[in-house]
């Protein structure tokens, strides 16, 4: 049946679901194609922490049995990958840390459960920066991940494993988490679509916390249509998450309704602060060309929108996020669960050794930063001031969205950088997220999609929308995607 589709692993979710429902391909054929692709390229990409081959193949056979009985869930038989900071009952969930290298959660995260309920088959857990702290997936306690477009380059982070396996065709889609750009920046680097939803739209229950007021789960996909499909499943109110939006109770939104190739009534603003110093010329040129394309497609484009407080977003983020990390990671004390030092000494010495060995350098750096910012005498000077900046940034976005439907910027200021080139310069590494952090600070949705290439490396276009404005950004992204061919390009790995 699959002769007409020799590379089933290269299908999008929407196309695969359509072929499966019409029985033009089988779930087992699709799954075997994906695992053949994994066998071919995973030794180079190293995007997985764990692979669940036998169980995934068994689930695919069951999906085919269900199809034969007329049982067809929205995403039946679709292979997917889960970032390894989302709990899956009975499956080791490490957050790419020695601290949790043997942790098997007794429950499943809400986002993963919703996917499973709609028929998705998780084939494995993807690599990431430890506890989602990093922009290159070089901070994993197990191994780095490599960019499928150029194996000497990083895939971005912290969801670099998720982005890389989607880009390389090792899965049809993946879930990631985004605290300061950790879905969108690797999507940009790996040439795929990455969506960060509005804070509270997707439940964080079962997501291993980094910074609770910033973390958000979202999809990494091959095109915008798939992003809308996955968002249909994972969005919605969850009583297990106290930050879940109560306004969504009982409501199920169909985001595919927004897949209309029309921006003629949209007003789009280009944020000048996010196109200034630090943005590589090749990136800037591609973003301006994308803005011109929107203008050509009928949108009204304002070429110089100012959000002056966004220049403080990076500084505010690196006070707020480490402060929350300092609090969240204090639970890893070697007593309740996770790694525990078994040497001689007092309880306090044991706790010190547990954290000293169990956490990697970047995680310890951020814990130090956060603990300092929250300490007596510094709370008002740092943390409280950062919260005030957060309010300013949110207010500026609110004002901008009274005038504009969407805001436009690069996803990353640079092309994917070489492996190891920034590991000894944390500040340069942090600057990789300068364009994405403001949306997390404000809790608003944003999407990254490919808008060009330079030196064979993808460039990401970043569209930011108002709170619960996912339909707007999906419509604009879909319109741009349909008018260009960048999303059809695949790495030759």
pLDDT digits (tens, 9 = 90+) for 330-369: 999 988 889 999 888 888 888 899 999 999 999 999 999 9
pLDDT above 50 (res 325): yes
Question: How many angstroms separate the CA atoms of 207 and 358, rounded?
Answer: 19
Question: In which element (H, E) is residue 27 found?
Answer: helix 27-45
94 has a pLDDT exceeding 50: yes
Q: For residue 230, what pLDDT is reported?
A: 98
The per-residue pLDDT for 5 is 55
* 13-21 and 27-45 helices, crossing angle to 10°: 150
List the catalytic residue out of 126, 158, 177, 409: 158
Confidence (pLDDT) at 15: 97
Helix (H, G, I), strand (E, B) or coil at 172: coil
Average pLDDT, the chain: 96
The DSSP annotation for 440-468 comes to: HHHT--EEEEEEEEETTEEEEEEEE--TT
Assign 218 to helix, strand or coil.
strand
In the chain, % of residues over pLDDT 70: 99
Q: Which of 15, 46, 83, 222 is catalytic?
A: 83
Which of the four pLDDT bands, split at 50, 70 and 90, describes residue 1?
very low
Q: Could you tell me the pTM of the whole model?
A: 0.96
Residue-level pLDDT at 343:
87
| Active site (annotated) includes residue 23 | no
At residue 3 the predicted structure's pLDDT band, cuts being 50, 70 and 90, is very low
Asked whether the beta carbons of 154 and 136 are under 8 A apart, the reply is: yes
The reply to whether 385 belongs to the active site is no
What is the mean predicted confidence (pLDDT) over 471-477? Answer: 98
Q: Which two tokens stand for residue 412?
A: 């990353």
Q: Work out whether strand 121-126 and strand 173-178 pair parallel, antiparallel, or are unpaired.
A: unpaired
Please report the pLDDT score of residue 4 as a whole number: 52
pLDDT in tens, 192-224: 999 999 999 999 999 999 999 999 999 999 999
Is 235 a residue of the active site? Answer: no
Contact (CB, 8 A) for 202 and 235:
yes
- pLDDT score recorded for residue 356: 94
Average pLDDT over residues 3-26: 90
Q: Torsions phi, psi of 261, nearest 5?
A: -80, 70
Query: Inter-axis angle of helices 27-45 and 53-68, to 10 degrees?
Result: 160
Which among 163, 168, 136 has a CA at the least distance from the CA of 149?
168
Catalytic residue of the set 140, 182, 244, 432: 182
Q: Per-residue pLDDT tens for 223-279?
A: 999 999 999 999 999 999 999 999 989 888 999 999 999 999 999 999 999 998 899
Q: Domain 2-269+407-488: give its CATH architecture.
A: Alpha-Beta Complex (3.90)
Domain boundaries, the chain: 2-269+407-488
Confidence of residue 468 (pLDDT cuts 50, 70, 90): very high
């Amino acid at each position: 049946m699959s002769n007409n589709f020799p590379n089933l692993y290269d299908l999008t979710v929407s196309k695969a679901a359509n072929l499966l429902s019409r029985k033009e391909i089988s779930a087992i054929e699709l799954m075997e194609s994906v695992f053949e692709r994994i066998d071919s390229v995973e030794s180079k990409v190293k995007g997985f922490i764990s692979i669940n081959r036998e169980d995934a193949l068994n689930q695919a056979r069951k999906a085919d049995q269900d199809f034969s009985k007329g049982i067809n869930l929205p995403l039946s038989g679709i292979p997917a990958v889960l970032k390894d900071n989302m709990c899956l009952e009975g499956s080791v969930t490490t957050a790419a840390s020695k601290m949790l290298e043997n942790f098997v959660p007794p429950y499943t995260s809400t986002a993963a459960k919703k996917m499973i309920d709609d028929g998705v088959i998780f084939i494995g857990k993807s690599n990431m920066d430890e506890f989602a702290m990093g922009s290159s997936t070089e901070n994993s306690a197990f191994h780095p991940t490599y960019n499928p477009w150029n194996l000497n380059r990083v895939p971005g982070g912290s969801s670099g494993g998720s982005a890389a396996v989607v880009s390389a065709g090792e899965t049809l889609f993946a879930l990631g988490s985004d605290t300061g750009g950790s879905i969108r920046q690797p999507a940009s680097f790996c040439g795929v679509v990455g969506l960060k939803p509005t804070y509270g739209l997707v439940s964080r229950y079962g997501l291993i916390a980094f910074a609770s007021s910033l973390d958000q789960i979202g999809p990494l996909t091959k095109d915008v249509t798939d992003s809308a499909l996955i968002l249909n499943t994972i969005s919605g109110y969850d009583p297990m998450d106290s930050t879940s939006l109560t306004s969504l109770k009982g409501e199920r939104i169909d985001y595919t309704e927004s897949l209309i190739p029309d921006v003629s009534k949209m007003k789009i603003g280009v944020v000048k602060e996010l196109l200034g110093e630090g943005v590589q010329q090749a990136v800037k040129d591609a973003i301006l060309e994308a803005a011109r394309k929107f203008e050509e497609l009928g949108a009204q484009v304002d070429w110089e929108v100012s959000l002056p407080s966004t220049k403080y977003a990076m500084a505010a983020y690196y006070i707020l996020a480490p402060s929350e990390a300092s609090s969240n990671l204090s639970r890893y004390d070697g007593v309740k669960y996770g790694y525990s030092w078994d040497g001689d000494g007092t309880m306090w010495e044991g706790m010190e050794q547990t954290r000293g060995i169990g956490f990697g350098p970047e995680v310890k750096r951020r814990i130090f930063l956060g603990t300092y910012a929250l300490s007596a005498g510094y709370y008002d000077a740092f943390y409280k001031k950062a919260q005030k900046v957060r309010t300013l940034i949110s207010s500026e976005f609110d004002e901008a969205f009274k005038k504009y439907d969407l805001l436009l910027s690069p996803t990353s200021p640079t092309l994917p950088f070489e492996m190891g080139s920034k590991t000894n310069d944390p500040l340069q590494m942090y600057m990789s997220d300068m364009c994405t952090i403001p949306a997390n600070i404000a809790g608003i949705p944003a999407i990254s999609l490919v808008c060009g290439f330079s030196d064979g490396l993808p460039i990401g276009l970043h569209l930011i929308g108002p709170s619960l404005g996912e339909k707007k950004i999906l419509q604009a992204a879909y319109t741009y995607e349909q008018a260009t061919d960048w999303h059809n390009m695949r790495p030759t790995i």
